[in-house]
A = this chain, B = another copy of it.
Amino acid sequence: MNRTTISYTDGHIYEFSPNLDPIYTASNGESLTFETIDSLNKEIQSNEDLLHSIPDEVNAATGPVAVEDAEPGDVLKVDIEAIRVNEDQGRVVTAPEFGLLQDHEEIEHPFTRVTPVDESAESIQFNDIDIPIKPVIGTIGVATESEVIPTLTPHDHGGNLDTTDMTEGTTVYFPVFQEGGLLAMGDSKAAMADGEMCGTGSEIGTDIDVTVEVIDDPAISLSRPLLHTSNAWKTVASAESMEDAVASANEDLLELIAAEHDMSITEAYTFSSLVGGLEISQVVDPLVTVRNACPAEYLSSPF
Contact = CB atoms under 8 A, between A and B. Distances in A.
A48 interface: no
A278 B246 contact: no
A118 to B, nearest CB: 15
Contact of A92 (B104, B129, B195, B274): B274
A60 interface: no
Nearest to A262: B127
Interface stretch (A152-160, A170-178, A196-204): A196-204
Interface residues on A, range: 35 or more
A99, A272, A276, A277 — most chain B CB neighbours (10 Å): A277
A276 B193 contact: yes
Interface string A60-95: 000000000000000000000000000000001110
A121 B194 CA distance: 34
A107 B271 CA distance: 13
Task: Please classify the interface of chain A as helix (H, G, I), strand (E, B), loop, or mixed, using the class held by over half of its residues.
Answer: mixed
Interface in A134-185: 164
Nearest to A103: B247
A298 interface: yes
A279 B192 contact: no
A228 interface: no
Interface string A187-225: 000011111111111100000000000000000000000
